[in-house]
Amino acid sequence: MVSRAERGVIADWWFTVDKLLLAAFLTLIFGGIILSLAASPAVAERIGIADSYYFVKRQAVFAIPAVIVLVGMSFLDPKQIRRFSLVFFGVCVLMLIATLFVGPEVKGARRWLNLAGMSVQPSEFVKPVFVVLCGFLLAETQKRPDMPGRIFSALLLGIVMSLLIAQPDFGQTMLVSLTWAALLFLSGMSWLLIIGLAGLGAGGILIAYTEIPHVRGRIDRFLDPDAGDTFQVDTAIESFVRGGWWGQGPGEGTVKRILPDSHTDFIFAVAAEEFGLVLCIGLVLVFAFTVLRGFGHATRENDGFVRLATAGLVILFGLQSCINMAVNLHLMPAKGMTLPFISYGGSSLVAMAMSMGMLLALTRRRPEQTRFVQPIEFEAFPARA
């Protein structure tokens, strides 16, 4: 047991970290291994891998560095988080540029780098550090109106968007843009600017629809199922129907055997078929708990950087979760986005652990921090005779 009387680093961390958030993240990581055990053997058999549990074993191996990164990042203080984000953002930008030239082409896109025999997706790692840097720039603008933080954050957004579109990866581009817009809103921009940005966003979607066949095809298939192949989405919906409330039972699902991305983008549908809507609702509640608790920390925080960075990381996490589940339920066009901590993928798992480790670090109780606290008025007691 760790005593409160101890003043070591581990003891200080244990008594200041949000244990409920930490437990939620560890639960999701463990749940991802369990759901990978349900979804990935069928994929391994379908693509001809001799070991049916190939993806399960790799997910379990990826979980080890993910937990180390999650806990390790949570030891940092806000200043260290800011410095790390600045340095690592530069590294991620270089990796994104390298991806365009030396990355392998998969399904017409270059999103991966082979480093030391491992495939790394730089776009997953650039998102959290981008959010933290934007939170810092916008917080500085709040303190010093002459500081062009919004312009600098827009420049960072332009760099990230241009590199993601060049891959191309429109799902991640949309996620980053929405998170940045939410941070601008939280930092107190005018309604006129909000309307202008909404118009720019709508214009960008219209241009993408008219000029990029890949985007147009996905939107058309979403609006009109007869406009093209909707096999994956239709199969995912069938998984929810077959699973019902309680599911077919572990290992009893059949739709996963024909669902191409059942272990990644559509693992939520596999969970519905084998474990039922009850488990899906449980996952939604864990995601919702994380978002609401993170926002709770942000609203009580008086430091502008910590408040905006915390809110930005929570928004990033919540939006990605909602997009993945909405695609599985055919509530929006397919985006090719993973479900945080649940979908198979080393880059996604470790990068999300880094992001939520930053969240744990920013939400730790700090001796020097100030909170918005309602002042307490004490009634004066009459002096005794």
In a domain, 383, yes or no: no
Using CA atoms, how far apart are residues 339 and 263, in angstroms rounded to an integer? 10
* 203 located within any domain: yes
DSSP string, 108-121: TB---EEETTEEE-
Can you give the pLDDT at residue 368?
56
Tally of CB atoms within 10 A around 28: 22
Specify the number of domains making up the chain. Answer: 1
Q: Which domain holds residue 165?
A: 13-362
Domain-embedded: residue 164: yes
Count of CB atoms situated within 10 Å of the CB of 109: 17
Of 331, 345, 317, the C-alpha closest to 66 is 345
Structure confidence by residue, pLDDT tens digits, 114-166:
887 788 999 999 999 999 999 999 999 988 888 899 999 999 999 999 999 99
> Is the per-residue pLDDT at 384 higher than 70?
no
Residue 128 lies in a domain: yes
117 burial (CB, 10 Å; 0-12 / 13-18 / 19+) is: exposed
- How many Cα neighbours within 13 Å face the side chain of 107? 6
Q: Give the C-alpha separation, 105 to 108, whole Å.
A: 6
Enter the tokens of residue 236.
């995912």
- Note whether residue 384 is domain-resident: no
Helix axes 170-186, 191-211, angle to 10 degrees: 170
Does pLDDT of 372 surpass 50? no
Query: Is there a domain that residue 385 lies in?
Result: no
**Residue where the block lists tokens 């491992």:** 118
Residues in contact with 147: Cβ distance below 8 Å, sequence separation at least 6, in sequence order: 137, 140, 141
Average pLDDT, integer, range 29-34: 95
- Rounded to the nearest angstrom, the gap between the alpha carbon of residue 14 and the centroid of all alpha carbons in its chain is 25
Question: 3-class DSSP state for residue 371?
Answer: strand
Residue 227 in this model has a pLDDT that exceeds 80: no
Measure Cα distances from 343 to 52, 81, 130, 314 in Å.
17, 26, 22, 18
Q: What is the pLDDT of residues 47-87, one digit of tens each?
A: 888 788 899 999 999 999 999 999 999 999 999 999 999 99
Pair of tokens at residue 226: 């007869």
The three-point CA angle 188-88-101 to 5° equals 110
Question: Exposed, middle or buried, 230 (CB in 10 Å: 0-12/13-18/19+)?
Answer: middle
| Rounded-to-integer distance, Cα 370 and Cα 365, Å | 10
Q: Does the pLDDT value for residue 334 go beyond 60?
A: yes
Does some domain include residue 141?
yes
Q: Tell me the CB-side half-sphere exposure of residue 278, using CA atoms within 13 A.
A: 8
Instruction: Please check whether residue 375 lies inside any domain of the structure.
Output: no
In whole angstroms, give the CA distance from residue 368 to residue 14.
Answer: 17
pLDDT at residue 224, as a whole number: 72
Q: Is the pLDDT of residue 107 over 90?
A: no
Find which of 4-13, 90-99, 200-209 is predicted with most confidence, using mean pLDDT: 90-99
Q: Which of 184-188, 192-196, 223-227 has the lowest mean pLDDT?
A: 223-227
Nearest to 339 by CA among 39, 109, 43: 39
Burial class of residue 189 in the structure, from the number of CB atoms within 10 Å of its CB (0-12 exposed, 13-18 middle, 19+ buried)? middle
